[in-house]
């Protein structure tokens, strides 16, 4: 009969600890096949626990096949074929921190938590929960109340005149593009994408095995003259605020792109992901306001309101909407109907307009402060790209260091900054470009981040 020592810790039931320690002894072969275990009474007396505690531990081990009971003889270890690797049998040890925890995180894609209308949103969500509509499955293509509000909003803010039946609600831009791809690949086998551009869209198109033709974009704009040399009749663009350069298409470029779509009898997928936040002028009208028949318009609440709400929408031309609805007539809606109805109420009562106006001023102030601080800290050592709109800037750093070296140096000083190289279809050969998001940072955090980056990048 084996005698062994048990060590108890706080926070977990003792029978579980007894079970786990005997199990470990068996798996590590410290207890071998047919070894006799202490009786329930003896083990309880030794450990100063109740007999029910040791009985429960033994019963769990018996149920899992680690041990067996033989009448009056006692409990014995079963033969166990060892299929565990040495690594799996090692006792758990917490991972050691190898890096300093970040002090300032310049992550793009977040929103300002301090100014989120939490109280108003919670009140409206509670009111929505009192409606009968909250206790049934929602419409497959989106809640009617939200569509009605989007019709008014898109006309007023983006110049797009549509009907409710043209709108599809989804959980994210990427999810909508994946669904859309099933429809489009019947008529298209390739697509033109911006280079650099949004990875999430490229991944959605790649899932459908679309051949992707790159259309060059730089800080001066989209190189639309390249369209004459491309074969695809389908194009994905971010015309109001290119991702990631931040440039906007002029009215002449927009008209030229619409003309191209008509000439090739194709479609433009317009991703209007954060058009609300333009600081120098009013937001530009959407491409879809110029031609609804050749533009598939996609918008989202993730950037302007809350990423976690998982709420986006798509406006389809008349030639596609019927086919889309036949394709997905029997698919459940994957965006929360509760969030849809709450957002509809939020818009109905004017809270959405007030929120956007308030956040535009707040983000404009943060953008100005970030740009001013960047210039003060780095001067001619860098060029700022995209400072007139959006929730991030790019900095082109004039240095012999690589993008990864800059990111690593910043991290050693407790600052997280982000690469832009993944946005390129080919590895860029130019100077490293770093992305700095600012939306969820306070001004003092931005200033601290800049001071730390100065130490990280100007002392190497």
Q: Give the Å distances, CA to CA, from 286 to 13, 244, 258, 297, 328.
A: 61, 18, 12, 8, 27
pLDDT at 98 over 60: no
Extract the tokens encoding 257: 């792109």
Please give the C-alpha separations between residue 413 and each of 225, 394, 458, in angstroms, as whole numbers: 44, 20, 12
Q: What's the topology of domain 104-109+354-458?
A: 3.90.1150
Averaged confidence pLDDT in the chain? 89
CATH of 14-89, one of 1.10.274.50, 1.10.10.10, 1.10.357.10, 1.10.569.10: 1.10.10.10
Tell the CATH topology of 116-349: 3.40.640
Asked if 284 and 163 count as a contact pair (C-beta separation under 8 A), the reply is no
More confident residue, 294 or 32: 294
pLDDT at 55: 92
Residues of the chain with CATH 3.90.1150.10: 104-109+354-458
Query: 3-class SS at 255?
Result: helix
User: Tokens for 369?
Assistant: 């402060």
Distance CA 73, CA 67 (A): 13
Q: Pick the more confident residue, 400 or 90.
A: 400
CA distance 33 to 326: 63
What is the Cα–Cα distance from 168 to 140, expressed in whole angstroms? 9
Residue 28's pLDDT band (boundaries 50, 70, 90)? confident
Judged by phi (left if over 0) then psi (alpha if -120 to 50, else beta), residue 138 lies in beta
Which pLDDT belongs to residue 97?
41
Mean pLDDT of 402-427: 92
Q: What is the pLDDT of residue 111?
A: 87
Write the DSSP string, 377-393. Answer: HHGGGEEEE-TTBSSEE
DSSP letter at 77 equals E
Separation in Å, CA 90 to CA 86, 115, 229 = 6, 47, 60
As a whole number of angstroms, the distance between CA 334 and CA 311 comes to 9
Higher pLDDT, 320 or 46: 320
Confidence of residue 125 (pLDDT cuts 50, 70, 90): very high
- Residue 403 contacts by C-beta under 8 Å, 6 or more apart in sequence? 419, 420, 421, 432, 433, 434
User: Per-residue pLDDT for 99 more than 70?
Assistant: no
Secondary structure E strands in 272-337 = 295-300, 312-315
pLDDT at 429: 61
CA distance 199 to 6: 52
pLDDT of 433 strictly over 60:
yes
Q: Where in the chain is the domain with CATH 1.10.10.10?
A: 14-89
Sorted by sequence, the CB contacts under 8 Å of residue 421 that are 6+ apart come out as 403, 427, 428, 433
Q: What percent of the chain is modeled with pLDDT above 70?
A: 92
Which segments of the chain belong to CATH 3.40.640.10? 116-349
Instruction: Find the mean pLDDT for residues 412-441.
Output: 89
User: Are residues 453 and 415 in contact, defined by beta-carbon separation less than 8 angstroms?
Assistant: yes
Of 169, 186, 185, 177, whose CA–CA distance to 204 is shortest? 177
C-alpha–C-alpha distance, residues 54 and 44, integer Å = 6
Predicted pLDDT of residue 86: 46
- The CA angle 312-315-318, to the nearest 5 degrees, is 155
Nearest-5° Cα angle at 360, 285 to 364 = 110
Between 459 and 323, name the one with better pLDDT.
Answer: 323
Instruction: Say whether 363 sits in a helix, a strand or coil.
Output: helix
């Amino acid at each position: 009969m084996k005698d062994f020592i048990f060590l108890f810790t706080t926070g977990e039931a003792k029978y579980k600890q007894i079970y786990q320690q005997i199990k470990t002894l068996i798996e590590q072969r410290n207890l071998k096949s047919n070894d006799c275990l202490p009786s329930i009474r003896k083990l309880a007396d030794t450990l100063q626990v109740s007999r029910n505690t040791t009985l429960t531990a033994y019963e769990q081990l018996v149920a899992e096949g680690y041990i067996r009971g033989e009448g009056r003889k006692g409990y014995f270890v079963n033969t166990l074929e060892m299929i565990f690797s040495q690594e799996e049998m090692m006792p758990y040890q917490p991972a050691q921190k190898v890096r300093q925890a970040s002090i300032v995180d310049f992550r793009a894609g977040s929103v300002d938590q301090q100014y989120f209308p939490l109280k108003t949103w919670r009140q409206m969500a509670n009111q929505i929960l009192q409606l009968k509509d909250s206790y049934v499955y929602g419409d497959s293509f989106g809640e009617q109340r939200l569509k009605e509000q989007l019709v008014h909003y898109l006309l007023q803010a983006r110049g797009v005149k549509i009907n409710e039946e043209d709108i599809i609600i989804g959980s994210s831009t990427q999810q909508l593009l994946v669904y859309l791809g099933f429809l489009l690949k019947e008529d298209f086998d390739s697509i033109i994408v911006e280079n650099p551009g949004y990875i999430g869209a490229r991944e959605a198109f790649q899932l459908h095995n679309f051949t992707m033709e790159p259309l060059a974009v730089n800080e001066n704009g989209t190189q639309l003259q390249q369209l004459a040399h491309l074969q695809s009749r389908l194009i994905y663009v971010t015309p109001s605020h290119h991702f990631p350069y931040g440039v906007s298409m002029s009215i002449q470029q927009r008209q030229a792109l619409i003309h191209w779509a008509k000439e090739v009898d194709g479609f433009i997928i317009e991703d209007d992901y954060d058009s609300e936040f333009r600081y120098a002028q009013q937001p530009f009208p959407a491409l879809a306001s110029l031609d609804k028949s050749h533009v598939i318009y996609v918008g989202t609440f993730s950037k302007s309101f809350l990423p976690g709400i998982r709420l986006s929408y798509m406006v389809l031309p008349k030639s596609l909407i019927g086919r889309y609805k036949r394709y997905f007539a029997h698919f459940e809606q994957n965006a929360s109907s509760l969030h849809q109805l709450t957002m509809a109420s939020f818009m109905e009562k004017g809270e959405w307009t007030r929120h956007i106006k308030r956040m535009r001023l707040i983000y404009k102030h943060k953008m100005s402060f970030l740009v001013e601080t960047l210039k003060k800290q780095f001067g001619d050592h860098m060029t700022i790209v995209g400072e007139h709109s959006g929730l991030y800037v790019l900095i082109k750093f004039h240095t012999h260091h690589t993008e990864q070296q800059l990111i690593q140096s910043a991290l050693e000083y407790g600052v997280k900054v982000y690469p832009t190289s993944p946005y390129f279809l080919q590895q860029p050969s130019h100077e490293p470009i770093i992305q700095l998001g600012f939306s969820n940072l306070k001004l003092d955090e931005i200033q601290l981040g800049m001071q730390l980056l100065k130490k990280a990048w100007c002392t190497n």
